[in-house]
Structure 1
Amino acid sequence: MTSRRIAFLDVDGTILDHGKTIARSTVEAVRGARAAGHYVYLSTGRAAGDIHPDVIKIGFDGAISNGGAYATVGDLSVVCDPMPRDAIEALITYMDASGLLYLLQTDTAVYASAQVQQTLEELMRSWVSSHSDEDSAQTAPQEVPRFRDVADIDLTQVAKAVFLSERTDAVERAQADLKDQFHVVAGSMPLPGGSNGEIGMRGTTKGSAILSVLTHLAIDPSAAISIGDSWNDVEMFEVCGVGIAMGNAPAALQKLADEVTTSVRDDGIWNAFCKHGLI
């Protein structure tokens, strides 16, 4: 076996085809790499409690969730960094004043108003319906997401916010308005128009959590590879020895990666793992 490597994999658009399917080759790649003695971690913007159970069933050595606010090594928590309450209160005030629809994530669940829940469920149904003829070599249909009522959230446990807007410039406006305290990136929801984004604390990213995991495991970043397709993956590209963009990632994001693999529907993880000797 070659020296032990560690891979960090985004979920939506990398493992999961935006809420619908998982390529069989992805399951085989992850399990094969782990059987060969390598580590494979999830690295997602989702809340841990919102990761599709069929993704979890693949089997991983740990997970980074909420865009870097939380991280586990096996069952051990190595990063637990929710937003300060005053920060989330200020953020909610900003989003309400800006007319943004938003949901809030804790480590265990996702919370949203009735209006946002209805909007997102309609979007997901539309997405699943428009992709109902996908190749039979794919598996794991995604159910319409279920949310908890935002009125029930404990504001001391919020790790991240996600917003939707009919404005096409909502992300750029939020980045300019919130840059001193928050990390704002474009989201990856398949919207028919407008824009969506993700908001975490400044300095809290997938990259920062990866460095914490690597320190805990005493693994040099040069032994790490990361694979993703979204703007919240940029920092993990930066800290890993090799940053790999999926073929379905935006062209501008692909330019920030060290290399590009094939798409989520075309064995992207399998091909990257083969190239780098994990399988």
Structure 2
Amino acid sequence: MNKAVFIDVDGTIVSYEGELPQSAVTAIQKARANGHFVYMCTGRSKAEIYDDLWEIGFDGLIGGNGSYIEHHDEVVFEQTLTEEECRSIVDWCHARGLEFYVESNNGLFASEHFEEQGQSVMVEYSKRKHLPDAEEMSVRKAFPEMIFGGELVRSDVNKISFILSSYQDYLDAKEEFAHLMVNTWGGEGEIALFGDVGVAQINKGKSVQILLDHIQINRENTLAFGDAKIDIPMLEYCEIGVAMGNGGPEIKEMADYITDAVMDDGLYNAFEHFGLI
């Protein structure tokens, strides 16, 4: 029976250093050649899925942590912030002096001073991910296709990420935008570097359900692969949930199976273990 496989990108297909192991490419290509459906399921918007990933070969994409679903170039589902919601978040960031970027499938749009304010933040983020030459990291290196000087209030926005001046910014955002989904990234708790505000009542698990209904594959024929807390709804929903060896403790505790780290052929080894290849 053909399976549907959902794979997180950062920390699962590629390492946080940006390395793409050939074993992961081989595993995905072999699984698809065997008739299985394989999808990226990521927090990245479509604008952040660069050619090196698409060239591996996938049946589609779940992006923006579930706010966008694509199957064989067909848009199956898209939920965006309303223009009014986008304006309120942009105005709130401006009022607090927080620099930010707007994430949409049509591009990443930086606020007026995001490049300058984001420099030290991206260096710190790179250090935490043990990236080579972290001290040389810049906003333009981290986001090579980011748009500067573009329109910030838009109707095509999945989420907005903002630089935290303190953890209180996140707490206040959570209160201000209680009707939306507010998270942090770049670290846990008070060491987080960014907050983000996105569409409500959607996550990776819900988006998997929507896609399965579209392609008419039963839930019992699904596998999910991830490394982080945000991947847990996807692993919970799918029949088999696999945590990467480099994953965090929360996802390892709930996973059905723990494979090796991404750079230790974790994806390939798990695909082989479950008979996908």
**TM-score (normalised: structure 1):** 0.84
Find the aligned partners of 2:22 and 2:106 in 1 and give their Cα distance. 27
Name the structure 1 match of 2:201. 203
Q: 1:92 aligns with which of 90, 93, 96?
A: 90
**Could you say if the C-alpha distance between residues 121 and 79 of structure 1 is closer, same or farther in structure 2, counting changes exceeding 3 Å?**
farther
Name the structure 1 match of 2:24. 26
**Could you say if the C-alpha distance between residues 95 and 246 of structure 1 is closer, same or farther in structure 2, counting changes exceeding 3 Å?**
farther
Unaligned runs of 5+ residues in structure 2 are 134-139
**Could you say if the C-alpha distance between residues 164 and 153 of structure 1 is closer, same or farther in structure 2, counting changes exceeding 3 Å?**
closer
Q: Which is worse superposed, 72-81 or 93-102?
A: 93-102
Contact 2:87/2:153 (CA < 8 Å) preserved in 1?
no
Q: How does 1:199-278 map to 2 (within 5 A)?
A: 199-278=197-276
Find the aligned partners of 2:20 and 2:245 in 1 and give their Cα distance. 16
**Could you say if the C-alpha distance between residues 143 and 94 of structure 1 is closer, same or farther in structure 2, counting changes exceeding 3 Å?**
closer
Q: CA deviation at 1:25?
A: 0.5
Name the structure 1 match of 2:101. 103
Q: CA deviation at 1:101?
A: 3.1
Q: 2:76 aligns with which of 78, 93, 96?
A: 78
Q: Which is worse superposed, 121-130 or 91-100?
A: 121-130
Partner AA of 1:6 in structure 2 = A
Partner AA of 1:164 in structure 2 = I
Name the structure 2 match of 1:116. 114
Partner AA of 1:14 in structure 2 = T
Q: CA deviation at 1:271?
A: 1.8
Aligned-residue identity in percent: 28
Find the aligned partners of 1:40 and 1:258 in 2 and give their Cα distance. 19
Confirm whether residue 163 of structure 1 aligns to residue 162 of structure 2.
Answer: yes
Aligned residue for 1:248, secondary structure, equals: coil
**TM-score (normalised: structure 2):** 0.84
**Could you say if the C-alpha distance between residues 223 and 186 of structure 1 is closer, same or farther in structure 2, counting changes exceeding 3 Å?**
farther
Name the structure 1 match of 2:136. none
Find the aligned partners of 1:208 and 1:272 in 2 and give their Cα distance. 24
Q: CA deviation at 1:121?
A: 5.7
**Could you say if the C-alpha distance between residues 186 and 237 of structure 1 is closer, same or farther in structure 2, counting changes exceeding 3 Å?**
farther
Find the aligned partners of 2:92 and 2:255 in 1 and give their Cα distance. 33
Q: CA deviation at 1:81?
A: 1.4
Find the aligned partners of 1:33 and 1:63 in 2 and give their Cα distance. 16
Partner AA of 1:157 in structure 2 = D
Q: Which is worse superposed, 22-31 or 267-276?
A: 267-276
Q: Which is worse superposed, 154-163 or 56-65?
A: 154-163
Partner AA of 2:203 in structure 1 = T
Find the aligned partners of 1:169 and 1:244 in 2 and give their Cα distance. 34
Name the structure 1 match of 2:137. none
Q: How many residue pairs were aligned?
A: 267
